[in-house]
């Protein structure tokens, strides 16, 4: 059945909103690429990612409203390929491409809604606030590392016990101790649980200090290959906690904090602060 005029107009609005969001992101990241002190290889990789962002904007402008899903799917596939092709140390370019994937995923959900098609189901990850307080007691001084067991529910995952698996560590880096990690995984297997999240601490006490480092992103990618594709990362820095990971960025999961004592500090629900 042909789409109504109103449906075509709404579809065009989805593409226009996305194009404006990409334009804002382009301007913001261009300032980042030109800031003093940025390494040449980082700046070069970021400029390459920005070129892809411009290409995406051009394709959105040219797209017809009846083909928005195909355009969005193609751009999402290309953005993911671009992200995977970036060297792990090119964190600025990788972060930009993850942001692009997040915007594309949001537009995809809007486009599906316009077409009257059900959006892909998203899993809910429930994090008890008491677990965060327990982790806070064990995860400092930085850097320390915890792995968290999750229980599969009908529509998502409930995070439960945290295991301290800190191995070699300093104020700037931490590794999991193989023996402690193995014991934690055995305990999860015996209790019909799985590795659903990992938490570690950073020095400092600010939202910026919670951002994952290039080393953190590499660790996440390694564990995604071996464990759940919905694995979440959480970084603690003083009174702040940031949840992150590909599943969150791509909209495959949503996050819910169950209980009192922490409050959201950003609209997307990934940054929280202890009361």
**pLDDT tens string 146-176:** 999 999 887 789 999 999 999 998 877 889 9
Q: Of 115, 148, 170, which one is at a domain's C-terminal end?
A: 115
- 143 and 77 in a single domain? The answer is no
CA–CA gap between residue 226 and residue 56 (Å, rounded): 32
- 128 and 104 in a single domain? The answer is no
- 87 and 53 in a single domain? The answer is yes
Quote the distance between the C-alpha of residue 274 and its chain's center.
Answer: 21
- 190 and 255 in a single domain? The answer is yes
Residues of the domain holding 227: 123-274
Q: Of 66, 85, 115, which one is at a domain's C-terminal end?
A: 115
- 101 and 176 in a single domain? The answer is no
Q: Which pLDDT tens digit goes with each residue over 139-149?
A: 999 999 999 99
- 21 and 80 in a single domain? The answer is yes
- 170 and 193 in a single domain? The answer is yes
On the question of pLDDT at 195 being above 80, the answer is yes
Secondary structure of residue 185 in the 3-state scheme = helix
Total count of domains within the chain: 2
For 272, the token pair is 């929280």
Q: Of 82, 115, 148, which one is at a domain's C-terminal end?
A: 115
Confidence grade of residue 7 (pLDDT, cut at 50, 70, 90): low
Average pLDDT rounded to a whole number, residues 90-97 = 80
- 130 and 243 in a single domain? The answer is yes
């Amino acid at each position: 059945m042909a789409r109504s005029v109103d449906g075509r107009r709404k579809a065009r609005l989805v593409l226009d909103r996305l194009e404006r969001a990409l334009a804002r992101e382009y301007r913001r990241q261009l300032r980042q690429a030109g800031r003093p002190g940025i390494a040449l290889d980082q700046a070069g990789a970021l400029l390459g990612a920005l070129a892809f962002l411009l290409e995406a904007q051009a394709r959105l402008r040219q797209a017809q409203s009846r083909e928005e899903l195909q355009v969005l799917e193609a751009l999402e596939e290309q953005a993911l390929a671009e992200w995977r092709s970036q060297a792990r140390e090119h964190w600025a370019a990788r972060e930009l491409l993850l942001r692009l994937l997040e915007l594309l995923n949001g537009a995809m959900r809007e486009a599906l809604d316009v077409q009257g098609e059900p959006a892909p189901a998203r899993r809910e990850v429930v994090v008890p606030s008491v677990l965060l307080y327990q982790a806070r007691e064990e995860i400092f001084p930085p850097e320390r590392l915890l792995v968290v067991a999750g229980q599969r529910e009908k529509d998502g995952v409930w995070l439960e016990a945290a295991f301290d698996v800190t191995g070699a560590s300093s104020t700037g880096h931490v590794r999991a101790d193989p023996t402690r990690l193995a014991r934690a995984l055995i305990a999860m297997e015996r209790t019909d649980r799985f590795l659903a999240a990992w938490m570690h601490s950073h020095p400092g006490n600010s939202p910026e200090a919670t951002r994952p480092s290039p080393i953190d992103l590499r660790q996440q990618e390694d564990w995604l290959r071996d464990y759940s594709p919905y694995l979440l990362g959480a970084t603690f820095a003083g009174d702040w906690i940031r949840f992150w990971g590909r599943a969150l960025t791509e909209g495959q999961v949503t996050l819910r904090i169950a209980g009192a004592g922490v409050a959201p500090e950003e609209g997307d629900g990934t940054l929280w602060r202890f009361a």
